[in-house]
Amino acid sequence: MAFLDSVGRYSIQQVEYVGLLAIQFWHASRLLLRINPFSGKRLRWRRAIAQMAEIGVRALPVVCLISGATGLILALQSGAELRKFGAMEVVINLVGTTMTRELGPLVAALVVIGRSGSAISAEVATMVVTDEIDALRTMAIDPIDFVLVPKSAAMLVMLPSLTVLAVFSGILAGGMFTYFTLDMTIAMYLRRTAEILLMRDIVSGLVKAVVFGTIIVHVGCLEGFLVTGGPEGVGRSTTSAVVKSIFLVVLADLICTGFFYFFWR
């Protein structure tokens, strides 16, 4: 009975957590339209621009480096097997479609989780511990509007942009493999890749990037808002945000992949 009690309690906690995420998402979505330079709220717009630089621009070298290495590894591993069947040119199709549909969005999301998702959670948790969130409420300022909305707007802009650059880096790294093994120039490789890619591949990758960005920013902020205790609580909140974001991103990736596979062929 004790085991069943613990399982039931854990399940209720997770359902409650998902409910809190849904409520926070709905609240932030209604406020998101205020993030524009013509709304009269220039402070929000400037905060969103600053978050774009932090989330996207500074993460660009790491994203491109890891994505390029991933694309080259994919080309090497697939080429080692396809060489046995004399189908080395299939490497072009494999690298192009896999990076566009799957690995590009996933690599960009994982890098942003480790770099920006943890920072978002730590920042919000520190604001809670130092009573800054309570001070905002005292001044009749909505913490969701002040803290979450600029980060959400920045994430929705920058993660798809990082995904595009991650895909290009991975595909370009695969081109290095074909250059040395198939004597194919980079221009020929890119032209062939553009021919085999479909609109479905590009759209699925960008949709995943938007979904992943939404998950990362909302999980990070919610973990920060729910922090308890002092500095130890901030550390636990950051760790929990990273773990839950990775799990939910992979789960969302599975759902999106299944949806596009069954309903858009």
Q: Where are the domains of the chain?
A: 55-263
pLDDT-derived band at 105, boundaries 50, 70, 90: very high
Percent of the chain with pLDDT over 90: 34
pLDDT of residue 210: 94
**Residue 38 above 60 pLDDT?**
no
pLDDT-derived band at 66, boundaries 50, 70, 90: very high
pLDDT of residue 42: 57
pLDDT of residue 40: 54
Percent of the chain with pLDDT over 70: 95
**Residue 34 above 80 pLDDT?**
no
Q: Which of 15-19, 222-226, 244-248 has the highest mean pLDDT?
A: 244-248
**Residue 243 above 60 pLDDT?**
yes
Question: Across residues 9-21, what is the average pLDDT?
Answer: 84
Fill in the amino acid letter for 150: P
pLDDT-derived band at 9, boundaries 50, 70, 90: confident
The answer to whether the beta carbons of residues 177 and 193 sit under 8 Å apart is no
**Residue 43 above 60 pLDDT?**
no
**Residue 179 above 70 pLDDT?**
yes
**Residue 1 above 70 pLDDT?**
no
pLDDT-derived band at 197, boundaries 50, 70, 90: confident
User: What is the rounded CA–CA span in Å between residue 256 and residue 68?
Assistant: 24
**Residue 84 above 80 pLDDT?**
no
Question: Across residues 185-210, what is the average pLDDT?
Answer: 89
The chain-wide mean pLDDT, for the chain, equals 86
pLDDT of residue 41: 58
Three-state DSSP at 237 gives helix
Phi and psi at residue 184, to the nearest 5°: -105, 130
- Opening angle at CA 100, ends 188 and 255, nearest 5: 160
pLDDT of residue 63: 93
pLDDT of residue 144: 87
Residue-wise pLDDT tens digits, 121-161: 999 998 888 888 888 888 888 888 888 888 888 899 999 99
Helix, strand, coil percent content, the chain, rounded in steps of 5: 90, 0, 10
**Residue 35 above 70 pLDDT?**
no
pLDDT-derived band at 167, boundaries 50, 70, 90: very high
Query: Which of 100, 128, 156 minimizes the C-alpha distance to 233?
Result: 128
